Amino acid sequence: MIKANDPKLESWIEVPKNSDFPIQNLPFGIFKGENQKPCAASIIGKKVIDLNALAQLGYFDDLAFNKNTLDKPVLNPFIRQKRKVWRMVRERLSYLLNKENATLRDNPENQGKIFHDLKDVRMKLPVRIGDYTDFYASKEHATNVGTMFRDPKNALLPNWLHLPVGYHGRASSIIVSGTPIHRPKGQTRPDADKPPVFGPSKLLDFELEMGYILGQGKRLGKSISTEEADEYIFGLSLFNDWSARDIQKWEYVPLGPFLGKNFASSLSPWIVSLDALEPFRTQQPKAEVEVLPYLRNKGKNALDIKLEVQIKPEGGKAKTVCRSNFKHMYWTMQQQLAHHTVNGCNINAGDLLASGTISGKNPSSYGSMLELSWKGTIPIKMNDGSERKFLQDGDTVIMKGYAQKSGHVRIGLGEVRTKILPAT
């Protein structure tokens, strides 16, 4: 049988050139079609695949897993069945969509029940996120921020090279791509010699991140090693962790982010499996100090995923302001998960970890307006002639990502797109 990642594999479903979703991808999500309740889905080309319909029509009958989990409005029950099941379902999809397989190809009646045009459905937040942890794992980003706000000669705090720094964020304000946000309000202190003031944030920012959805972890008191971590990572999604820099600056001492971060974070609707991204593994950046044994990684644990951020002014054309890559991250997903659980913290299916802002060494690869405009001192020109130091009302921020290299088919993550509305 042809393997699901084989670049020679072709589908009988038409897939546009350079599509994010070839037969080698087959990510997971939740969709709502007309006159039906939300349920589990995948996608190939521009066709959304109703996984529950496949189950009801018997295409998964010989697979040993709970098919009823595909009928739910979130993926959590399906994810809870662990990697063997995730892999089995993806491989069955690959088999059914193979152009050499007539089982579904020659059954137009069933096709009408299973496939939906992407433009005709609504994508939902794919998981119910119980807990969300945001990391600070890009050395370039941490160095840039430390340089701007502290001593450039000591931009990284003493712990940074020894552990992946993170904090627990707000899970219930994570929204799916396409959901607009209102500019947040809060306290700021623009003049250090005067009392704080209240009002809409003037320094609204995006943060280019990768989110990864976790499968069921170990019970409380047990830890997950770097070697085991892949078994507990369901897949990856693009993530925009919005930031109100002026609110954040005033509030963050001594406990860290609060109102400057918890008003919204945006997640793309498709979760791409580690299996689909396997061909794009690469070496992480070389560690500058020897880390403790529980954080040591073996093999290639970084992922070569090209990332892009665009800003589209209202009524105008989108302008690419950032091109970065997930492989720049100093701390990998495996190290972050190992550190998160080393104290015995439990992990539940659907929990979200976010990489932290993904910045490279080149200024054009900086993953936030804070860095791109260097704290508002370097305006960025839009296609309509206007300038941005931070984001304006009416702007739409669009993040895209894909993995591609010679000998392999492009695997995309789709996009996360969010429009900024005025403060209420």
- From 351, 316, 308, 311, select the one nearest 333 (Cα to Cα): 351
Q: What DSSP character marks residue 348?
A: -
Q: What DSSP character marks residue 28?
A: B
User: In the Cβ-directed half-sphere of 305, how many Cα atoms lie within 13 Å?
Assistant: 29
How remote is the C-alpha of 176 from its chain's centroid? Answer: 11
Counts of helices then strands in the chain (DSSP H, E): 10, 25
Strand partners, 303: 281
**Residues 301 and 197: beta-carbon distance below 8 Å:** no
Radius of gyration of the chain (CA): 22
Please identify every residue annotated as catalytic. Answer: 141
Helices (H), 238-286: 245-251, 274-277
With 0-12 CB in 10 A as exposed, 13-18 as middle and 19+ as buried, what is 152?
exposed
Longest dimension (CA), the chain: 75
Please give the Cα distance from 142 to 359 (Å, whole number): 9
Would you state the structure tokens that stand for residue 333, as one six-digit string? 């997903």
**Residues 72 and 40: beta-carbon distance below 8 Å:** yes
Would you state the structure tokens that stand for residue 287, as one six-digit string? 């560690």
Output the CA torsion sign for 325, 267, 89, 94: negative
